[in-house]
Structure 1
Amino acid sequence: MILAGDIGGTRSRLVLYPPGEEGAGVERTLDSREYNDFASLLQAFLDEVQASRFDGISAAAFGVAGPVRGDGDEARVQATNLPWTLSAAELSAVLGGARVRLANDLIAVGMGALASPVDRRVNLNPEAATDAGHAAVIAPGTGLGEAIFFDDGERHRPMPSEGGHCDFAPNDDREAALLTFLRGRFGGHVSYERILSGDGFSSLYAFARQSGLGRPTADADQRLAEASDPNALITRWASRGEDECAMIACRMFARILGAEAGNLALKTLPVGGVFLAGAIVGHILPFLRDYTLEGFLDKGRFATMLGRMPLWVVPDGSLGLAGARRLAEEQTLSR
C-alpha cells in the first residue's frame, strides 16, 4: 500500500492506494485544526479507513506547506499555518516502519504537474518545441510557490525556492502605478506573491477602483463584505463579465503571472517547460489564454528564446496528492 497526503492549514487530504493500481484509492479529507498534531490526524485516518485490514503500508509521502529540514528519516517540517512539527521518523513509527518522505507542498504540486497527461494541460505557447529537460513550476495559491525540477537524465529532481518573494518589477505605466499603490498598502517591499496569490485579486481590484480604470458592479462593497471568499467572488464576477474592475484585475493578474513565469524561465532555462499549476489558474483560464503569453514573451532580446519554451497550464486542485503519490512510489523504488 502507498499513502499520499496533501496537508493544508484548513484541510488535510489523505489517500491510501492499493499496490500496482493507477485508479483512485481510499480517500478522506479531515479538518486539520481539529488535531493537536499531524500524528493524531494520521492515526484518525488509519482508524477510519481500517488500514489494519490491508497487508501494510510500504511507503508514504506528504506535501506540507512549510520548509523541510533534513533528509530521509531525519526530515522535519514546521507547518506554516498550523502549530505542527512533522517528523519523518515519528510518522514512520505510526505507519509500522514504512518509509516516509516529507516534501514542501509546491514540490508535490510540481511533481503532479510534470506527471499530468498532456490532454489535461492547456498549451499557452503553441509555437514552442516540446523537449525533455529541466522544468519550472509556478503555482499561485494562498501564496506564490515556485520550484525548479532538474532533469538528471532519468527523472526530475526537485529544487525548492522562495522565488515568490522576489521584488515585483513593473513592465508598463499601469504596473508602475500598481507598485506605488501596493507599497502604500503594505508599507514598503512588494513581492510577486502580493499580486500572484489569492489575496492578490483583492489588491488588484482595489487598485482598479481607486485608479478609475473601470466601474464596479452595483453594491460591490456590500457584496464583498458579506462574501466568505472575496477573492473568489472577484474572479467569478470577472469570468461572467459582471464587473469591469474585476475583469481588469484578472487581466493584470494573468499578464503579471506570465511576466514572472518568464523571469523564472530566464533564470533556470527550463526547456522541458514552464508549468502554471493549481486551482486558481483554472478559475481564470480564459484570462490566461489572452494575456499570459504576452507577459511571458515581453523580455526584449530573449523573446525569441522564450517563444520556443512550452508554457503549460495544469488547472487541477489535486496535483498535490498526485505528486505525493509519485514521491511515495519513489520511496519503494529506492529500497
Structure 2
Amino acid sequence: MVRKEWYYSDRKANALLLAADVGGTNTNVALVEYDGREYSIMAHWEFASQKISGLEEALEEIFEDINSKLGEAKVEAFCASGAGPVEDNVCILTNLPWKIDGNEIERDTGIPTVVINDFSAVCYGVPILERQSPSSLVPIPHVDGSIPERRGSIRAVIGAGTGLGVGFLVDDRGQYHAYPSEGGHIDFPASDDLMEEIRKYLSFKYKHTPGTEAVLSGQGIANIFSFMLDSGNIGHDDLIREILSVPDTDKPPLIAKYSENHAGCRRVMEFFISVYGHMAGNYALCFLPTAGLYLAGGIVAKNIDYFQKSPVFMRYFESSYRKNMTELLKKIPVYIIKDYSISVYGAAYAAQTFARRGDA
C-alpha cells in the first residue's frame, strides 16, 4: 500500500458504499457514506497498481482495515471502475495485465458489485462535484474571454493521464447515464504541419497509424519529446540529457517542471497543449456537450496555467474549417477538474444506483 487515510470513523446511519478507481499507475479505493443527497469519503486507500496482483489483493487488506476500525460494518454495495472496456461486469484493463471480475468479487464478498469503465466513473462524478464542490471545477475562458453558461443535458469528459480516456453523460431529468468509449484510441488526426510530422514519425515507430493516446497522454509527452529531439526542433543540453537518462514514464513530470525556464521543454508542453485543444474540439463536435466539456487527469490539473493563461488550448479548440462549427464550439463551456477524488465519487454513485440492480 502506498497511502491510507481515515478522515473520520464516527459512522452515521447512512448507506455505506465502497468505490474503486483502478488505473495503470494507481488503484484508489474509498469508503463512502451516502445520506440520500451527499457523498462523504470516510477513508481512502491508494495502491501502486504494478505492485499488487489484482484488485482482490487490495480488497482483502481494505476489509481487514474496515473491520478493525468499524467492527462488522456492512458495506451495502461496491463499484469498481477500470481503465478498459467492460463486458458482462468484467473489465479487461488496457494498461495493466489483470482484470476486474465483478461477478467473482460479489460471490467472494457477498456485496452487490458492479464494474464500470473508469471514464464512466468520472462522468458520474461531475454532477456530484457541481453540487458539492463547484470550486474544484475551473472554467477555461474562450479566446474572447467568455465563459459560456452550461445548458442542455449532455456532458463529456476527456482526460490525458497514463492513457487517454473519453466518455459522456446524459442527464435524464435528474437521472444520470454514463457511456464509455475507446475514443482515446481513434487514429490521430493532424491539424497543422507539425502535427502531420509527428503523425508520420509515430507511424514509423508503431508500424501503424498512431492512436490519439500516443500523442495525448503521459506517454504522448514522452513521444513528443523524442520527436522534437529527433527532428531538430529542440537541441541537446545538460537538462535534456538529464531527461533522456530516466525511463519514458518519468519523463513527462520532468518536462513539465522544466518548461517554466527551458525553451525546449516549453515547446514540448505547448505542442502537447495544442494537441489537447485540437482533440477536445473534435470530441466536442462528436458529443455536443453543451452542459460542459470536462478535462480530467493529473496532467491538466498540474499544468492549469497552460490552459487558463495561454490562448493555445482554446485557439485550437475553436478551430474549424466551417465558420458555423467554430461558432458552435465557442458556446461550449470547458472546465478543468481539480479534484482527484472525482472517480471514487462517481463509482460511489454507480454503486448506490446500479449495483443492487446490476445494470450500470
Regarding TM over 0.5, the answer is yes
**Residue number among 266, 269, 277 corresponding to 1:247 in the alignment:** 266
276 and 87 in structure 1: CA distance in 2 versus 1, 3 angstrom threshold: same
Decide whether the 8 Å contact of 1:3 with 1:14 is kept in 2.
Answer: yes
- Structure 1 counterpart of 2:256, one-letter code: T
- TM-score w.r.t. the length of structure 1 is 0.89
Aligned to 2:101: 87
Measured in 2, the distance between the counterparts of 1:169 and 1:138 equals 16
Aligned to 2:178: 158
81 and 172 in structure 1: CA distance in 2 versus 1, 3 angstrom threshold: closer
Residues 82-120 of structure 1: CA deviation (Å, up to 9, x unaligned): 443332232223333x32121111211222234323311
Aligned to 1:232: 253
Decide whether the 8 Å contact of 1:113 with 1:277 is kept in 2.
Answer: no
**Residue number among 286, 292, 306 corresponding to 2:313 in the alignment:** 292
Measured in 2, the distance between the counterparts of 1:14 and 1:334 equals 22
Any idea what SS the aligned residue of 1:25 has? strand
**Residue number among 321, 329, 339 corresponding to 1:306 in the alignment:** 329
Residue correspondence of structure 1 range 251-290 to structure 2 within 5 A: 251-289=270-308, 290=310
Measured in 1, the distance between the counterparts of 2:285 and 2:156 equals 11
Decide whether the 8 Å contact of 1:11 with 1:30 is kept in 2.
Answer: yes
Residue correspondence of structure 1 range 34-113 to structure 2 within 5 A: 34-50=51-67, 53-70=71-88, 75-96=89-110, 98-113=111-126
19 and 203 in structure 1: CA distance in 2 versus 1, 3 angstrom threshold: closer
**Residue number among 32, 42, 48 corresponding to 1:17 in the alignment:** 32
Aligned to 2:19: 4
Aligned CA RMSD, in angstroms, stands at 2.4
Unmatched segments (≥5 aa) in structure 2: 1-15
Decide whether the 8 Å contact of 1:250 with 1:284 is kept in 2.
Answer: no
267 and 10 in structure 1: CA distance in 2 versus 1, 3 angstrom threshold: closer
**Residue number among 44, 49, 52 corresponding to 1:27 in the alignment:** 44
Any idea what SS the aligned residue of 1:322 has? helix
Identical amino acids, percent of aligned pairs: 26
Any idea what SS the aligned residue of 1:259 has? helix
Shift of 1:292: 1.1
166 and 9 in structure 1: CA distance in 2 versus 1, 3 angstrom threshold: closer
- What is the aligned length? 328
- TM-score w.r.t. the length of structure 2 is 0.83
Shift of 1:35: 4.4
Aligned to 2:7: none
Measured in 2, the distance between the counterparts of 1:276 and 1:287 equals 13
Shift of 1:219: 4.0
Shift of 1:206: 2.2
Any idea what SS the aligned residue of 1:23 has? strand
Q: Which is worse superposed, 1-10 or 76-85?
A: 76-85
Aligned to 2:136: 120
Residues 34-85 of structure 1: CA deviation (Å, up to 9, x unaligned): 5444333312210123267143011111111221112xxxx12223344433
